[in-house]
Amino acid sequence: MGFFGKIGEVFNKIEYHTSNDPEIVGKRFEDHVENLFSKKYFKILEKTHSFKTNTDRYVESSKNPDFIFEYTPTKEAFAVECKFRTKLNHKGQLEWSYPAQLKRYQEFMTQYRIPVYIVIGLEEEPEDDEEPVGYMFNIPLSDAKYPALYESVFAKYERPLDKPFFWKNGKLF
């Protein structure tokens, strides 16, 4: 790689770590979630394509959840869709999807007979000089029945932002 290629790489890394562009923020969150799955216990069977790949030529499987993992000790598969949000809506709901997308995930879960989990990062914008407050939720799709969820639904699935995921008795924690 030439000098200008290396300079371009540096700029891409800076943009990745500092940008507020929704596509890049979403990618950072997906990467964070992926890193919470130990390579020792979880194999990635499928992963959606990048924004750049889909810009060049859209890959239809990108409509599926972001990841399909296999818990290697038992060979159980499950899917994970990652979403990152910065606020609740005016009703205090967490809008994580839209109706057609929710329907696609439900059809995916039925067709492939594997559980789907919605992992949502929520970083509320700070007021004045406060630090941002971050949350993470791991919601089974079977409990995320609507594109916008009230706190009574999503709050019970809160988990630490940096805690590794684990699989136990057919459920993701």
User: Could you tell me the CATH number of the domain that includes residue 140?
Assistant: 3.40.1350.10
Q: Is residue 100 part of a domain?
A: yes
The reported pLDDT for the residue numbered 58 is 74
Question: Domain range for residue 97?
Answer: 22-172
Q: How far is CA 93 from the centre of its chain?
A: 18
The reported pLDDT for the residue numbered 154 is 97
Strands (E), 48-88: 67-71, 76-85
Instruction: Give the pLDDT confidence of 86-98 residue by residue, as tens digits.
Output: 999 999 999 999 9
Q: Is residue 106 part of a domain?
A: yes
Tokens of 39: 């390579």
Instruction: Give the pLDDT confidence of 114-133 residue by residue, as tens digits.
Output: 999 999 999 976 666 666 67
Give me the phi and psi of 45, to 5 degrees please.
Answer: -85, -40
The reported pLDDT for the residue numbered 12 is 47
How many domains does the structure of the chain reveal?
Answer: 1
Instruction: Give the pLDDT confidence of 28-61 residue by residue, as tens digits.
Output: 999 999 999 999 999 999 999 777 766 778 777 7
Q: Is residue 70 part of a domain?
A: yes
Q: Is residue 128 part of a domain?
A: yes
Instruction: Write out the H or E segment, with its range, that includes residue 81.
Output: strand 76-85
Contact 43, 72 (CB under 8 A): yes
Tokens 């964070």 map to which residue?
Answer: 32
The reported pLDDT for the residue numbered 129 is 67
Strand, helix or coil at 110?
A: helix
Q: Is residue 12 part of a domain?
A: no
pTM: 0.85
Instruction: Write out the H or E segment, with its range, that includes residue 11.
Output: helix 3-18
Q: Is residue 74 part of a domain?
A: yes
Q: Is residue 9 part of a domain?
A: no
Q: Is residue 17 part of a domain?
A: no
